[in-house]
Copies of this chain bind each other. A is one copy, B any other.
């Protein structure tokens, strides 16, 4: 068996996937296996008793949002009575940033990979401040979710229905030439996204104030496009999964407790270990003492060759996550060591338009002792608080070692 050839096939599928944002719909109507008592969450599988603070907070908030629980106590009682099912977003063609908790009534982005035909989904981005994805669940959090679901969501749905869809891979190609790395810095992508949506929204919105509010919300939120980008990356990663013999990583995801990876040639098996603590810059009033462990499906960006892997495109990001522009360049250069391809569509002007390092090879990670690099937001460790900073983290090396062992076993090496 030619492992390198298998990896080239997997990388080629990842790069040639062309995810188009086709619409916005209600999760229960489109996401495979969605049920009214199911909460999807970020990262590998986890049960309530091992969930981190921000994940618990998001679970409580989602149950209140759904009207299944009237408050925190009722939500916790429901969960403890076994009335709520949990399952990773990743098991449902979905991804969600930070806690990633997505419930049946929530509006989600619908993406289709025009090359290979698979779909992917992600919830809508809530912006900054007190937000469910960081584990906050106060009334203002629920109110904003309801506005997003009842006012913004339907208008986005109508607007996208009038369009030919938005090519998110093309948008990323462009935003990577505009100082974004596509994970923690999506400033350019988010305004490109807003500018593309604006004329579509203008055509369908019936109320000028709603319209103005939506355009303001999308334009002011430098993460507006993160969720469609993540779903696009999920579509790319899924297209690359299941290539017989490939040692390429197709999932990296964290639930705040465990970091999990999956490998293209190893079916759906998760390799997990306790998450590390991100290292970065904290908002005023917070320190590393306040930080939750690493959390979120947003590592799907690094999985597909952007995020920290493309940090050389985003020197200005160091103002947000610490370090120097040279560190940003070095991060990308290091990732070439552990990847199998240079991206055909994501290029780095500063490196003479070299393609971003794409497709992590578990063999190289273990042989060289270089785990992937990840840019991330940092959540407060307690339920109900929210974001406290942003920084850098790596997955535990152990999960790559275990994946290599499992690979050797499966393929009798």
Contacts and interface: CB of A to CB of B under 8 A. Distances in A.
Interface of A: 174, 177-180, 187-188, 191-192, 194-196, 198-203, 205, 208-209, 211-213, 215-216, 218-219, 315-316, 318-319, 324-325, 349-353
Contact of A194 (B198, B212, B315, B325): B198
What is the interface of chain A mostly: helix, strand, loop, or mixed? helix
Contact of A199 (B188, B199, B216, B353): B216
A324 B352 contact: yes
A316 B215 contact: no
A156 to B, nearest CB: 14
Nearest to A188: B178
A203 B214 CA distance: 11
29 contacts: A174-B187, A177-B316, A178-B178, A178-B179, A179-B179, A179-B188, A188-B191, A191-B195, A195-B198, A195-B215, A198-B198, A198-B215, A198-B219, A199-B212, A199-B213, A202-B202, A202-B208, A202-B212, A202-B215, A203-B208, A205-B208, A315-B349, A315-B350, A316-B349, A319-B353, A324-B352, A325-B351, A325-B352, A325-B353
Contacts of A213: 199
Contacts of A205: 202, 208
Contacts of A315: 349-350
Nearest to A204: B208
